[in-house]
Amino acid sequence: MKILVAEDEPILIRAIEMRLKRDGHEVWLAEDGQQALDKFEQEPPDLIITDIMMPYASGLEIIAAVRASPGPKVPVIILSAMGQEDVVLEAFRLGADDYITKPFSPNELSVRVRRLLTN
């Protein structure tokens, strides 16, 4: 499965990439919001994992853009250090499918990805 990961911290992005690759997924990387949106426009992936606080476009903007575009619904997982209730609620309201707060466990991420992709 093709997974787009938008995250600006290099250590994290590689950790997520390695974990997902080990699970057998194809991983696309984006270092900022604009890159993520560009890649999404080029070809929609099967799942998106994105942080909220990122340069150029916040994760919430990405969800909004993804939900607004035509085509099959792409599941979106938010991975963010901001765990406050109102931010989480807003993310779900905009259409996020799951919300993981940092610090997070790559194993847990892997399980949640699998769950969303099999649904």
Partner 1 sequence: MPGLRFLFAAMAGVLGMLLTLIGFILVYLLRRKRLDRLKDKWREIHGEVIQMAIVWEPAPGDSEPMPVPVSAARTLGSPVSRQCMIGDLIKGKKALSGAAADNLVCLYNRLELDRDSAKRLMSPKWHLQAQGIHELATMEQRGYVTRLYRFTNASNEMVRKEAQAAIVQLFGFEGLRFLDVIDTSLSEWQQIQLLQLLQHTTGAPQGSLQRWLHSSNATVRMFTLRLIAEHHLPEMAPHAADRLSDSIDGVRLQAIRCLRDLGATDSCGALTRVYPEEGLAGQLAILDAIGHIGTAAQLQFLQDQLNASEDRIKLEAARALVRLGEEGLICLERFPKIDRFPWNDVFRQVTCEWRL
Partner 2 sequence: MEVMSILQVISDVLAYGFWLYSIALLSSQLLLGSLAMVQMRQYMRSSSFTDYSLLAGSPHAPGISILAPAYNEGATIVENVRSLLSIHYRNLELIVVNDGSKDDSLQKLIDHYQLRKTDRLVQTGIATKKIRGIYQSANPVFHKLIVVDKENGGKADALNVGINVSGQPYIVCIDVDCIIEQDALLKMAKPFLDTQDKRVIASGGVVRIANGCEVRNGRLVKVHLPDTFLPRTQALEYFRAFLIGRMAWSRLNAMLLISGAFGAFDKEIVIACGGYNGATVGEDMELVVRMRRYMEEHRIPYKVTYIPDPLCWTEAPASYKILGRQRNRWTRGTIETLSIHRKMCFNPHYGRLGLLSFPYWLFFELLAPIVEAAGILASIFMAMFGGMNVLLFLALLGFIFSFGILFSILAILMEVLSFNQYRRSGDILRLVFTAILEPLVFHPFIVWSAIRGNIDLMRKKKGWGDMSRQGFATKKFTAGKDSRR
Taking residues 78 to 97 in sequence order and writing x for each that binds partner 2 by CB under 8 A, - otherwise, the string is ---xxxx--x--x--xx---
- For the chain, the first-to-last Cα distance in angstroms comes to 13
Residue 100 binds to partner 2 (criterion: CB under 8 A) = no
103 makes contact, choosing from partner 1, partner 2, none, with CB < 5 to 8 Å by partner type, with partner 1
CA distances 61 to 28, 32, 34, 35, 100, Å, are 19, 12, 10, 13, 17
Q: Indicate the SS3 state at residue 33.
A: helix
Q: CB within 8 A of 22, min separation 6: which ones?
A: none
Taking residues 52 to 81 in sequence order and writing x for each that binds partner 2 by CB under 8 A, - otherwise, the string is -x-xxxx-xx--x----------------x
Residues forming contacts to partner 2 in the complex (CB under 8 A) are 33-34, 38, 53, 55-58, 60-61, 64, 81-84, 87, 90, 93-94
